[in-house]
Amino acid sequence: MNLPLAALLVVLVAVIAASIALAAFYWAVRRKQFSIRDLNEGAYTIFDNDEPVGKPQDVMFDDSRKQNKKQ
Amino acid sequence: MTPESKTKSNDATERAKAFHQSDLMDDTELRVKIDESLASAVALFFATSLFWLLLGSIFGLIASYKMHWPDWLGEYAVLTFGRIRPAHLNTVAYGWVSLAGAGALLWMTSRLTRIPIKWGWMLFISVLLWNIGVAYGTGAIIFGYSRGMEWLEFPRIAGFIIALGFVFFALPILKTFIHRKVNHIYVSLWYILASVVWFPLLYLTANFGHYQGVVEAGMNWWYGHNLLTVWVTPIGLAMAYYFLPKVIGRPIYSYYLSLLGFWSFALFYNWNGIHHLIGGPLPTWLVTVSIVASVMMVIPVLAVAVNHHMTTFKHFHMLKFSPTLRFTVFGAMAYTAVSLQGSGMALRSINEITHFTHYTVGHAHLGVYAFSTMILFGGIYYIMPRLSKWEWPYPSLVKWHFWLTAIGVIIYVVALTIGGWYQGLDMNNPDKDFMESVLNTIPYLYLRSLGGTMMVVGHLIFIYHFALMVKRAGPRRFAPPWFKKPEEESAV
């Protein structure tokens, strides 16, 4: 009869998964991931000098039209 | 003319500079280094995923035709519906979505941590093991050795090979994360880390095998739905949160909301699986808890929906210019639709109509195709030119790919949603023959095959275009991914 082992396993996995989530949350709070400064600035992580805010990327179709006109 | 959003951009760039502190000396050089560190491995992930996409969608198409031409190819055991249909599910889930998603997550991790990938050699082992696992599992299904549980049809050994492949994929991500140059964990990275930690737990538990009877059914759907929770959805959301603001060139509308969305997602989504067994022999409380959690999913879904919509708001004209944005916005809208639809389908009163009908199949394709697959296409359009240093040669092929797959999946989902709903009403009507409920679906099944055929033609175009790019065939184009402008190149 495998039922008790299965139940134990599922509960164990649930506890491990929840613990990982809680630990990650606790760690993140301690490391000030959710401090006001980080939350205000965090959204800018994906931008930099060469790909700044206000500069669209991946302008494929516009580019092709410009090139065709040049030709 | 390149579209540009001008307001506040200077101020925002200054804030970005301040945030990155010392890492800004040469951003382009860093990006090239990052891309070179994982170019071959990620390209391999993408290329092999496309093989599974093609094979999986051909399996799907055969299964779809069989729904209205039941005798077609019926004389070959390997091509019977009972084998082709699970082969379709498993190849697209573990082959296409997983491998393409893994490639995209690796690339984004490196970009978001701002360092070249660590332990990159492991990725080649990962892609090899992963493909061996999927090939072995698919062969087993086709030749009649399926385990007979939805989403878990692969034999256990194939599951363990894939899990081992996943370990070799996850370790470089974790190692890269530990050595990151950016202290802040961007919201996409939260989704990536969550999937990297939770997916192995889920997959190994489900493949462990000490389950019987009702518990096995419960485990089956705990796994089935959580595969979407901890793997398919985080891939799509991580990509949407990266590509939407990046391509448009403006930060996410509300970063607070995006993190609230992530944590409520982590809290509620993993309870949802048992709503697949409404009406089944599980304890009622268990099913009810799952229904409540499914409805609670409205919170993270609305957080994501508001954020994506407001980020794109007033920039919809950019859909004209960017293939990545077209696919990603389409996928993000589908995510909102499929999630709210899913919360509704978990309600007992709706579920008693939609369960065991084509409605559910339409819902599944709205999720894994219209949301996940479309965002993956968009991501590959962005990532590949940067890895191969060769722009997509024919923009017209990208347009064909988009319109064929977008219209195809809309036809598919709308047909099955309407047909499936009527099928459910017919099945619940004691005055109607069961056969009547089957025959009434046939026009909708033809429409589904039409939508499916359009999607497969779109895939063929995409794969052809991908092959041209890898071979560096076709006209050379100088789009933004190029680090040097044409005039700079000729001057060198």
Residue B96 lies in a domain: yes
Angle separating helix axes B395-428 and A60-70, nearest 10 degrees: 140
**CATH label of the domain that carries residue B322:** 1.20.210.10
C-alpha B254/C-alpha B244 separation (Å) is: 13
Residues B174 and B234 in one domain: no
| CB-based contact A49 B13, cutoff 8 Å | yes
Kindly state whether B477 is in contact with chain A, defined as any CB-CB distance less than 8 angstroms.
yes
| CB-based contact A39 B255, cutoff 8 Å | yes
What local confidence, expressed as pLDDT, does residue B22 receive? 45
Phi and psi angles of residue A42, each rounded to the nearest 5 degrees, phi first:
-55, -35
Per-residue pLDDT 10s for chain B (492 aa) are 344 444 444 555 555 555 454 444 478 888 889 999 999 999 999 999 999 999 999 999 999 999 999 999 989 999 999 999 999 999 999 999 999 999 999 999 999 999 999 999 999 999 999 999 999 999 999 999 999 999 999 999 999 999 999 999 999 999 999 999 988 899 999 999 999 988 988 888 888 777 888 888 998 999 999 999 889 999 999 999 999 999 999 999 999 999 999 999 988 888 899 999 999 999 999 999 999 999 999 999 999 999 999 999 988 888 888 999 999 999 999 999 999 999 999 999 999 999 999 999 999 999 999 999 999 999 999 999 999 988 899 999 999 999 999 999 999 999 999 999 999 999 999 999 999 999 999 999 999 999 999 999 999 999 999 999 999 988 888 766 554 444 444 443
Domain span at residue B174 reads 27-183
Residue B203 lies in a domain: no
Kindly state whether B480 is in contact with chain A, defined as any CB-CB distance less than 8 angstroms.
yes
Which residues 97-116 in chain B show a CB within 8 A of chain A?
111-112
| Burial state string for B283-309 with b = 16 or more CB within 10 A and e = fewer than 16 | eeeebeebbebbbbbbebbbbbbbbbe
Residues B119 and B242 in one domain: no
Q: Write the residue in A34, A62, A67 that is nearest to B321 by C-beta.
A: A62
Q: Write the residue in B16, B325, B398 that is nearest to A53 by C-beta.
A: B16
Residues B241 and B314 in one domain: yes
Residue B209 lies in a domain: no
Interface test with A, best of B2, B112, B177, B184 (most A CBs within 10 A): B184
- Minimal Cα–Cα distance from A14 to chain B, Å? 9
Q: List CB contacts (< 8 A) between A67 and chain B.
A: 477-478
Closest CA in chain A for residue B28: A50
Residues B37 and B169 in one domain: yes
Residues B419 and B297 in one domain: yes
Q: What is the ipTM of this complex?
A: 0.81
C-alpha B132/C-alpha B130 separation (Å) is: 5
C-alpha B59/C-alpha B64 separation (Å) is: 9
Residues B307 and B443 in one domain: yes
Residues B312 and B446 in one domain: yes
Amino acid at position B464, single letter: Y
Residues B289 and B143 in one domain: no
Total structural domains in chain B? 2
Closest to B46 in 3D by CA, of B98, B85, B89, B93: B98
Q: List CB contacts (< 8 A) between B268 and chain A.
A: none
Residues B310 and B367 in one domain: yes
Residue B11 corresponds to which tokens in the numbers above? Answer: 């101020």
C-alpha B308/C-alpha B328 separation (Å) is: 10
What local confidence, expressed as pLDDT, does residue B68 receive? 95
Residue B13 lies in a domain: no
What local confidence, expressed as pLDDT, does residue A9 receive? 76
Residue B488 lies in a domain: no
Residue B135 lies in a domain: yes
**CATH label of the domain that carries residue B138:** 1.20.120
| CB-based contact A44 B19, cutoff 8 Å | yes
C-alpha B53/C-alpha B61 separation (Å) is: 12
Domain boundaries, chain A: 3-70
Q: How many cross-chain Cβ pairs, A to B, lie less than 8 Å apart? A: 187
* Confidence bin at A14 (pLDDT 50/70/90): confident
| CB-based contact A41 B15, cutoff 8 Å | yes
CA angle B397, B399, B405 (to 5 degrees): 100
| CB-based contact B245 A46, cutoff 8 Å | yes
Residues B426 and B331 in one domain: yes
Radius of gyration of chain A (CA): 25
- Among B131, B152, B183, the domain-final residue is B183
What local confidence, expressed as pLDDT, does residue B14 receive? 57
Residue B354 lies in a domain: yes
**Sign of the CA dihedral with B132 first, then B195, B211, and B354 last:** negative
Q: List CB contacts (< 8 A) between A50 and chain B.
A: 27-28, 31
| CB-based contact A56 B248, cutoff 8 Å | yes
C-alpha B360/C-alpha B170 separation (Å) is: 32
Kindly state whether B395 is in contact with chain A, defined as any CB-CB distance less than 8 angstroms.
yes
Residues B246 and B155 in one domain: no
State the residue for tokens 């099928």: B423
Kindly state whether B5 is in contact with chain A, defined as any CB-CB distance less than 8 angstroms.
yes
Radius of gyration of chain B (CA): 23
- Minimal Cα–Cα distance from A19 to chain B, Å? 11
The answer to whether residues B439 and B58 touch, using CB atoms and an 8 Å cutoff, is no
Interface test with A, best of B205, B272, B324 (most A CBs within 10 A): B205
Closest CA in chain B for residue A18: B267
Residue B431 CB partners (closer than 8 Å, separation 6+): none
Kindly state whether B282 is in contact with chain A, defined as any CB-CB distance less than 8 angstroms.
no
Residue B484 lies in a domain: no
Residues B152 and B298 in one domain: no
